[in-house]
Amino acid sequence: MAHITRAGVRLAYADTGSGPPVVLIHGFPFSRRMWEPQTPLAGAGRLITADLRGFGESGGTPASLDELADDLHALVEHLRLPTAVFGGFSMGGYVLFRYLARHADHAKAVLLLDTRAEADTPEGRQRRYDSIARIERDGPAGYLDDFVKLVVATKTLESRPDLVKTVRDLMESRRTPSLVGGLRAMAQRPDSTPLLSSIRVPTLIVVGEDDKATPVSSARTMHEAIPGSRLVIIPEAGHVSNLEQPERFNAALRDFLQALR
């Protein structure tokens, strides 16, 4: 593990492999540990995974997606990456959209992984605020127990209890302010749909066929709006397709990355 410090906040990251850099941004409420099944991809490039502020081994508390995008840019500058392939999972995708809005010239290619461009609906935003109230009232355990049921496929929930436990164990559960800050940042994020048509670099969109959080319909919307993008739907996977079907997920990314060379 290495780290940088931005505005007094320690931000952790890992940097493995060699070749073209691939920067993967984790989702909520995870850390860079969610990318452990993607370790074999280090053979296809230089794999860089960061803990967003407030998560994993990074300090601080997230205040907005723009702040998280600024953290990402600080890491890019620290590593002196003129360009990289950037991949964002779920909330990491929302961070990536904010990054692309200001630093598109740094993107050699884009990976949109179980994420969506639309802002929350009023109902979705209210659900996040209700979750904040629940976490602040009762602590995070019950909320995270229910969140697991949202992010894994129904079939996984019924037939793979060990994996469900692994997903639950990967969730940040120690720092209530980080969970609250992440939920609030997502609730307040802007609509990134207008940005899609301006993405002019190779783009891969991956989604689990049973993704209940960022469904296939949202992936298709991005695919139709981003010129020349590729869409891969992972069978027998929900929102955390990289954890539920790592071999299929890795194959999709590896094929895409090899085609860039």
The structure tokens listed for 90 are 């779920």
Nearest to 15 by CA among 65, 90, 112, 84: 84
Give me the pLDDT at residue 211, please. 98
Question: Within 13 A of 253's CA, how many CA atoms are on the CB side?
Answer: 33
The rounded distance, in Å, linking the Cα atoms of 232 and 223 is 10
Q: List for the chain the helix, strand, coil content (%; round to 5).
A: 50, 20, 30
Give me the pLDDT at residue 163, please. 98
Total tally of structural domains belonging to the chain: 1
Q: Which of 106, 211, 218, 241 is catalytic?
A: 211
The rounded distance, in Å, linking the Cα atoms of 104 and 201 is 9
Among all chains, which residue has been given the structure tokens 């630093």?
103
CATH number of the domain encompassing residue 110: 3.40.50.1820
Q: At 131, which helix (H) or strand (E)?
A: helix 122-138
The rounded distance, in Å, linking the Cα atoms of 130 and 126 is 6
**Full domain range(s) for residue 141:** 2-260
The rounded distance, in Å, linking the Cα atoms of 243 and 20 is 24
Mean pLDDT, 10 residues at a time, the chain of 261 residues: 94 95 98 97 93 97 97 98 98 98 97 98 98 97 97 97 97 92 98 97 98 98 98 98 98 96 81
Residue 114: strand, helix, or coil: coil
Residue 90 designated active-site: yes
Residue 211 designated active-site: yes
Q: Which of 192, 210, 239, 241 is catalytic?
A: 239
Instruction: Supply the DSSP string of 2-25, one letter for each residue.
Output: EEEEETTEEEEEEEES-SSEEEEE
Local structure of residue 91 (DSSP, 8 states)? H
The rounded distance, in Å, linking the Cα atoms of 62 and 72 is 13
Are the beta carbons of 16 and 39 closer than 8 angstroms? yes
Give me the pLDDT at residue 43, please. 87
Beta bridge partners of 205: 112, 231
Among all chains, which residue has been given the structure tokens 């009232």?
137
CA–chain centroid gap for 171, Å, is 13
Q: Which of 90, 131, 229, 241 is catalytic?
A: 90
